[in-house]
Structure 1
C-alpha cells in the first residue's frame, strides 16, 4: 500500500466533530472527484471515480447515511496498470436536486457553484472536514522517506483558491499551480504537511512523517560529521606528506644530526608516525610537546631548509627565529 493510500485509509476512519462535518466532507468528495450530468429540468446524476477503496466506502456511507440516496458501486480492473478503479453512480432521483443544494454543489437560480459551500464551513471542524474530503478525493502525498511533497488536484480556480484559503485557517501556506487544465494545490514544507495532516485528523500519518524527519536529521548530522572527519583527515595527510618531504630535503641539505635537538626530535616522530596530526604527534615526543610547540619547530625547520637552499628569508622565517 502506498503512503497516500495509508493516509486516505486513516482519514476515512475519522468522525466529524459536529453534525455538519460529514456534509462538508461529502461535499468536498463530490466536488473534487465527481462529475455532474444534467438531463432536464431538475434532473441530475453524479458519477464519482476513485482508485482508493477507502474513499469509495466513505462516499457510499455518507450518501446513504446523510442523504438516503440510491447508489451503485462498480469495481473495474485495469489489466495494464494492475489497479482497481471504483465507480460510484448516484442516479437521478427526486431528492437529489435538493441534496445538491444542501451540499453547496448547486446554487438555486445560478447553477453549479464555483467557490466553497460557505454555509457548511462556519466552524473550524467543518473546514477541516472539507479539507479531509478534498484530500481523499484528489490528494497525493509522497513517501516521506523520499521528498516532502503533498498536493491536491482540483478543477476550477475558485474551488482551488477556496481550498488554499481553508488551509490558511490551520496555518498552512499552500501554493497553487495550473496543470493541464486543472489546478494543483501543493505543499513542500515539512511543517506545513504535518500541520495539514493533523488538521485533517491523520495523526498517525503525521507522526510517521515526523519520525522520518528525525531520522533524516540524524543521518544528515552523521554525514556532516563524517565528511568533516574525512576532510580533516585528508588535510592532515596532505600536511604530513609535505612535512616528510621537508624532512627529506633537510636531511639532504643539512643532515639531521646537524639540526637542533628539538627539531631533530620533530623529524624523528614525524617519520615514525606519518599518519598522526600535530596534536597527537606531540604525545610521542620525549618529553611530550604541545601542538603549538611542534608547529613552531616545523616553522624553524622550514627556515633552515630555505637558508640551506640559499633562499632569502621572509617575514615568517624571521619570526620563527624569535
Structure 2
C-alpha cells in the first residue's frame, strides 16, 4: 500500500469510529459501524440539564434521555464533548462537576466509575492504544480588559487506559481545546496557536507551535483531511492547513466560524472541512446560522445549509449526512439531518443545548 493510500484508508477507518482525531503511521483501526449516533445535549451550565439522545440512522428514530433510562439517574453535569473508543465505549467529557463518564454506546449503561482525578475543566479527549489524552483549561485564569477570562495554565492530562490512573499532566498554553494525534505527535489547539507534543514514551515534550503569520486569535479545534493534513480553526480568520510531518502551514482559508465554540469537522470522504457560524444582533439574539464547506484541495468555500441558531456540526461516516440543530439552552433543541447536497432529510426533537454527535 502506498503512503498516500494508507493515509486515506486510515482516515476512513478512524472516521468509522467517529474519532476523526488520530492517524497511526503503522496500523489501521477498523470498527464496524452500527449506524447509530449519540447526540450530546450540552445542557444549561447552571441547571445540570445535560442529556444524551440515541439516533438510529436507518429508522430515523430518536430516543431521548437514554443515560437516565439506562442508569436511573441524571448525568448531573454539563457535557462539553465526547469521543468513542475502539471498543465502542463512549467517553463523555463533563464540567460542573468535572468528570468523564464512560458508557456502553449501545445501551448507555455506565461501564465504570467516572474519571475525576487530574481534571480541571476538561475539554476534549482521545483514546488511543493504552492511553487517554484529555485537554483541560485548568482553574487558574487571567481577566482580560474585555472582561473575558483566559485560562493561561491549560494542560494535557495523560491516563493509563486499563486502570484510568493519571500518569502525568503537561502545560500546553492558554485555553486548550481540540486535540488530534498523528503518529507520535499530539496537536493541541491553544490561544498561542497549534502546539505539537511528542508523545513517545509519555515524553510530552513540545516540538513546535504553529501559527500562520496572517492569522490572529486563538486556535479552537482540529481535524484531518483525506491527505492526512491537519486543519485548525481560528475564528478570527478561518481555517489553516498544516503538514503534520514538516509542521508547515500549507494553506489559509477565510471562512466564517463560530467564535465561542470554533468547532470544525470533516466530511466522510475527507474532501471537505465543515464549519458553522451563527450571526447575532446587537441584543445577542440569533439572526441567521449557516454551515459552510471548505474544499481541501482548492480552498473554495460554499454555504451548504442555513437556519437560525446552530451550536455544532457533525458528519456521519456511514451516510455522509450532516447533523446540526436549531439549538435552545432553555428547552429542547431540534436536530436537523442534512444531505451532502444541503437538502433537509429529517429532523427530531432532542435535548437542551444539542451540540455534538458521536457516530458508531
* TM-score bracket for the superposition, by shorter chain length: under 0.3
Structure with higher Rg: it is 1
More strand by share: 2
More helix by share: 1
Could you state the TM-score of these two structures normalised by the residue count of structure 2?
Answer: 0.23
